[in-house]
Structure 1
Amino acid sequence: MEMALFSVLSLSLLISLSLPSPSLSEPEHCNSEDKKLLLEIKATQPEYLASWNPSIDCCDWAGVECDETTSRVIALAIFGGNFSGQIPPVVGNLKYLESLVFRKLPNLTGKIPFAITKLIHLKEIRLSWTNLSGPVPSFFALLKNLTFLDLAFNNLTGSIPPELAQLTNLGAIHLDRNKLTGTIPESFGKFTRTVPDLYLSHNQLTGSVPKSLGNLNFTVLDFSRNQLSGDLSFIFGSNKTIQIVDFSRNMFEFDLSNIVFPASLTSLDFNHNKIFGSLPADLTALNFQFLNVSYNRLCGAIPTGGKLQNFDLTSFFHNRCLCGAPLPVC
């Protein structure tokens, strides 16, 4: 009997020793310096960031991501809701950030703070769908590791800073849906290493597109809904790799007849311009997913074959004398 009781007690002792002590807590993964900075950000938005509980590891907070090895905060995403006021400058002290997102925040106002330039490791910045105002900062050129810049759907004004062309790793620039004026910088035809997709639509840009852009192989160009004018034929050519082009709702004026479009082109939107001439027969060889040349000054027969007849008349109507399927016969 005593032996059995001793065995039970011994087993209980072993089990209790194997369990974690309730008085001991696991060490926090989040870097203490970064947590302090995040709590300073929370102090500016106590209600919106109420879920950032100081007693919980900050790497587990919503919108926060830490590096598994260094424990430093590498991503901060403030997304949706009633975050109000300006971007807290203290964000610039999260010096290991690689991704910064303030998105879909209609009450976010003010200018983009210069403190962001301290984030030298930043690769991605998304400040979009907010009410940020002021200029597109030229100081973004200091963030040499940027691969993605999204400032779309804001109230930014002024001209596009030519210094952005100094960013050699950019894969895309989104400046669309703002109130930008002036011309497209000539420097945008001088990107080195990577050639970014350019989204400049829904602004108030004027003038002609710099000829320098014809020296680069872009993949996506969206200049739609501006007040741009002049010739764009130099964007195309058999040696180019462009895939998506949207130049619609501008005042471009040039002869389309002899333009050679690259085999890579899958989407072409020229609607609502002053483009004249005829549709080149080589268009039938392209694998179009989207095509719209309506509301221009084109004439002649729509070439038959390929995918041109897959589009309805709205892709071709309101031209000077364009004819043939899907429009009425010539």
Structure 2
Amino acid sequence: MCHLSITIIFLNIVLLSTAQAFSEQCNQQDKKALLQIKKELGNPTSLSSWKPRSDCCNGWFGVTCGTKSQGYRVNSLDLNELNLPKPVPVPPSVSNLVNLQYFYITFMDNIVGPLPPTLAELKLENLYITDTNISGPIPDFLSQIKTLEYLKITNSKLTGTLPVWLPSLPKLTGFSFDGNQLTGTIPDSYGSFPKPFDTFTLSANRLTGKIPPSLANLNLVTLHLHDNMFQGDASFLFGKRTRQIYLSNNKFVFDLGKVRVPKTVEGFEIANNGIYGTLPKELTLLKLTWFNVSFNNLCGPIPQGGMLQTFDAAAYANNKCLCGSPLPPCKRF
């Protein structure tokens, strides 16, 4: 009787294991790749849910699989704030996730070094890396990923110049390289991105020179160029679809009074430049969430109405002769 009970228990365990294996959605090649990625990251405790005997499509941290018709292949990997035991590069085994479309690495100081060339083997749509110690130039092998729609490598340690090949990516709708150590100028080719092109952000780098007039062709939604050393005219960057335009802390010089500001603008920041002229009356028509024109050479009455008076005097301070609420009343105008 005792032997019979043990046999029944053993059979139940075998049947349960077989049923679990049969019902598992995770592709075995993808699971193998993920476990290798975990090993290359130093087996962080944050990935304790990545167990060989569990289904990687159900409950594995940061892992998302496609639908049944897509073979339940891993299509998204989001590695966020992992407690890595030591500095490591981006795992080269990521390239073994052959159906990966979305790859995110965020808030990990212990991710170091250049990006692995194996990324060029993937058909990524979104590569999103932020707040790491990724270093080196923007790698040329990224030009081989013709499926890329958005490229973001921010708050890291990229160096070198902006690659001229970036507009050759046929599906790209935006890029962000904010918060790095990039130098040089914006290439003239950056006015020829495929349309629609929405996001163009390069803030907090060491970029210099004049803005290529060809950028007027882009009609951007989001433009962040603040905290660089750009100079000259930037008035042509206001497009019909612009929502955010941040130009602060550069050396731009142009007549703001001649700029036609579109009604779509929500964020408007041009502080700490040499911009002159008057504030356009169209500013009263905007639904602004952020506004700052301080430390320029602007002059004349601040248009009254809309949301302009909801910002305090600091948003207008240190100009040549701006006046009117929220600054002191005008005397000469």
**Inter-partner Cα distance in structure 1 for 2:328 and 2:143:** 52
**Inter-partner Cα distance in structure 1 for 2:197 and 2:75:** 26
Count residues in correspondence: 308
SS at match of 1:181: strand
SS at match of 1:279: coil
Q: Find the counterpart in structure 2 of residue 24 from structure 1.
A: 18
Give deviations 1:152-198, integer Å, cap 9, x for gaps: 11011111112111223233311101111111222221111321311
**Inter-partner Cα distance in structure 2 for 1:287 and 1:37:** 48
Retained in 1: the 8 A contact 2:257–2:279?
yes
Retained in 2: the 8 A contact 1:203–1:226?
yes
Give deviations 1:112-155, integer Å, cap 9, x for gaps: 111101002x1111121111100112322222222221201101
Q: Find the counterpart in structure 2 of residue 182 from structure 1.
A: 184
SS at match of 2:206: coil
The one-letter code sitting in structure 2 at the alignment partner of 1:317 is A
Retained in 2: the 8 A contact 1:103–1:128?
yes
**Inter-partner Cα distance in structure 2 for 1:285 and 1:90:** 52
Q: Find the counterpart in structure 2 of residue 37 from structure 1.
A: 33
**What is the deviation of 1:283?**
2.3
Q: Find the counterpart in structure 2 of residue 78 from structure 1.
A: 79
Give deviations 1:186-229, integer Å, cap 9, x for gaps: 22211113213112111111011110111121101010111111
1:137 aligns with 2:136: no
**Inter-partner Cα distance in structure 2 for 1:157 and 1:35:** 35
SS at match of 2:170: coil
C-alpha root-mean-square deviation of aligned residues, in Å? 1.8
**Inter-partner Cα distance in structure 1 for 2:245 and 2:300:** 23
Unaligned runs of 5+ in 1: 1-19
**Inter-partner Cα distance in structure 2 for 1:47 and 1:94:** 18
Retained in 2: the 8 A contact 1:181–1:203?
yes
The correspondence for 1:52, drawn from 50, 53, 75, is 50
Per the alignment, do residues 23 and 252 of structure 1 end up closer, same or farther by CA in structure 2, a change over 3 Å counting?
closer
SS at match of 1:58: coil
1:275 aligns with 2:275: yes
Q: Please give the TM-score of this superposition, normalised by the length of structure 2.
A: 0.87
Retained in 2: the 8 A contact 1:78–1:102?
yes
Where in structure 2 are the equivalents of 1:1-330 lying within 5 Å?
21-22=15-16, 24-26=18-20, 27=22, 28-48=24-44, 49-60=47-58, 61-69=60-68, 70-83=71-84, 84-120=87-123, 122-236=124-238, 240-330=240-330
Retained in 1: the 8 A contact 2:294–2:318?
yes
SS at match of 1:59: coil
The one-letter code sitting in structure 1 at the alignment partner of 2:130 is S
SS at match of 1:109: strand
Retained in 2: the 8 A contact 1:138–1:164?
no
Unaligned runs of 5+ in 2: 1-13
User: 136-145 or 179-188: which moved more?
Assistant: 136-145
**Inter-partner Cα distance in structure 2 for 1:23 and 1:88:** 31
Q: Percent identity?
A: 41
Q: Please give the TM-score of this superposition, normalised by the length of structure 1.
A: 0.88
Where do 4+ consecutive residues of structure 1 move more than 6 Å? none
Larger radius of gyration: 1
Q: Find the counterpart in structure 2 of residue 10 from structure 1.
A: none
Retained in 2: the 8 A contact 1:250–1:273?
yes
